[in-house]
Chain A
């Protein structure tokens, strides 16, 4: 485990070096560190954000200084507090209980070519039929590795390897909200109308980001996700 400065008001706790070789274990470990740091409520820490192999800690250096009473070594003092707060995470057997049991969430997706603008592109690259793509994509189980890019955008780990397709060379200027896409070895959902370079294969009628709700996103880091195939009619009836 490494703690690295991210400028003068944030730092990154790198829990692991790699993600792809053991995504499940890595996520559980990262989320354990995230929860332990949440519980520790270290003075001066403003917020925390997990992503793949790391947890970012944002802090107010002036508040950390005041809490410590000296003007030197803000980073070292904070790093020390962080290390002592996350010692339990290194005890393997406790990891799962700290991380909590992940929630399972089902996302209805209409894979109609009307929404899956790039199904043909993915088919060409993967040498699979569009039907096979839909079957593979909707039968796999995924986990939210992190949320970012735009509010509520879930980066999902667990895409069947033979579905991996490189991003489009030229990103689209505008992608409709709810679009489900494949970008390299990951899959994800665009919560808002936004530009983007992933290959679009379907669309969900669910709202993934709503700023007047708390939490504002449908998905959270660590959640288990499955896609359920729906028809165009079901899409319309759910899209209210």
Chain B
């Protein structure tokens, strides 16, 4: 059964939890920029957490369903409608065959993730269904969605959910459904090259606001703001970078790397945004003001563990709801 893309919107792509195991060959992670949001949306519709869904940037996506499906979305603030019914983030909804699902423009935040019962059944390439938009493989023919595309959907087992109402009252916690925040604070741990920056720079980095530049994309968020200066000018030997790494090129403007980033880099790494804050980073758009706040590695791990425990409880709650 297919899903018809009536309008592809600004930038919509097929993503799952990303591609691992091929970094040694230079292959990026790709995947949903907020993996947690996609996991929650997938759990809501009764899928495996790692099923492929759609990442929708800035909205404008219109879909028509060939058969009945359960859907849920998480992410920024979007006006989403099934016919004339408004569908808030984190809610489980039923779309009948021939039904339409429309994402308006993002009111706030930048991206959201849509899960559809059965998942999007594009071929697995290098162990993932994620679209690698830079190397052009995976997902829908290695590219963003186009108007008129038909996406294959996996089998929908009706027992996947007990929802009989059009929109269930049972929801995900609010901060999971909509992690976007005004003037967000991104928590970070120190990078290997922290000590290569002078005191004034460290002071600036940890106290001042940085503005998101328009040339940001799935590879990275570029910032304008106070200049970050190194003490030395020596060339560094290229080594691994990862989603979350904040690197500082010679122009002194930091870049926060996201899921489509390359695997190695030679710019100094001042810091790393913690995994638990990457969902907030995925909501940044041009003009947003951002501050950075340091946490210890232990704190970063504790936050991650807490969130996993909450998700475990949520999973149990969902299965009780369905039984």
Contacts and interface: CB of A to CB of B under 8 A. Distances in A.
Given A8-B272, A8-B275, A71-B305, A47 B20 contact: yes
A12 B242 CA distance: 11
Interface residues of B, number: 43
A151 B192 CA distance: 25
A65 B189 CA distance: 19
B26 to A, nearest CB: 4
A216 B24 contact: no
Contact of A148 (B26, B126, B275): B26
A96 to B, nearest CB: 20
A56 B240 contact: yes
Interface in A1-28: 4-10, 12, 14, 18-19
Contacts of A72: 298
A117 interface: no
A147 B240 CA distance: 11
A153 B26 contact: yes
A14 B192 CA distance: 11
Contact of A61 (B28, B137, B305): B305
B25 A151 contact: yes
Interface in A50-102: 50-54, 56, 58, 61-62, 65, 71-75
A211 B245 contact: no
B192 A47 contact: no
Range, interface on chain A: 35 or more
A46 interface: yes
A221 B24 contact: yes
Interface string A184-197: 00000000101000
A126 interface: no
A211 B298 contact: no
A212 interface: yes
A13 B134 CA distance: 28
Interface string B52-78: 000000000000000000000000000
Interface string B127-139: 0000010111110
A8 B192 contact: no
B301 interface: yes
A156 interface: no
B262 A49 contact: no
Contact of B301 (A34, A47, A65, A149): A65
Given A150-B262, A151-B135, A49 B23 contact: yes
A45 to B, nearest CB: 11
Given A74-B301, A147-B25, A51 B240 contact: yes
A148 B241 CA distance: 11
A115 interface: no
A73 B125 CA distance: 36
B262 A7 contact: no
A123 B272 CA distance: 42
A61 B136 CA distance: 30
B242 A65 contact: no
A134 interface: no
A18 to B, nearest CB: 8
Contacts of B10: none
A171 B156 CA distance: 48
Interface in A186-240: 192, 194, 209, 211-212, 214-217, 220-221
A14 B138 CA distance: 33
B162 interface: no
Interface string B192-208: 10000000000000000
B263 A49 contact: yes
B316 interface: no
B192 A6 contact: yes
Given A7-B242, A8-B275, A46 B304 contact: no
Given A49-B23, A151-B135, A216 B126 contact: yes
Contact of A75 (B26, B135, B136, B297): B297
Given A9-B242, A192-B135, A212-B125, 5 more contacts: A6-B192, A8-B189, A8-B301, A47-B20, A147-B24
10 contacts: A47-B23, A53-B239, A54-B237, A58-B20, A62-B304, A148-B26, A148-B238, A151-B135, A209-B26, A216-B22
Interface of A: 4-10, 12, 14, 18-19, 34, 46-54, 56, 58, 61-62, 65, 71-75, 146-153, 155, 192, 194, 209, 211-212, 214-217, 220-221
Interface of B: 20-28, 125-126, 132, 134-138, 189, 192, 237-242, 244-245, 262-264, 269, 272-275, 297-298, 300-302, 304-305, 308
Closest 7 CB pairs of A and B: A56-B240, A7-B272, A148-B264, A8-B300, A49-B23, A211-B137, A147-B26
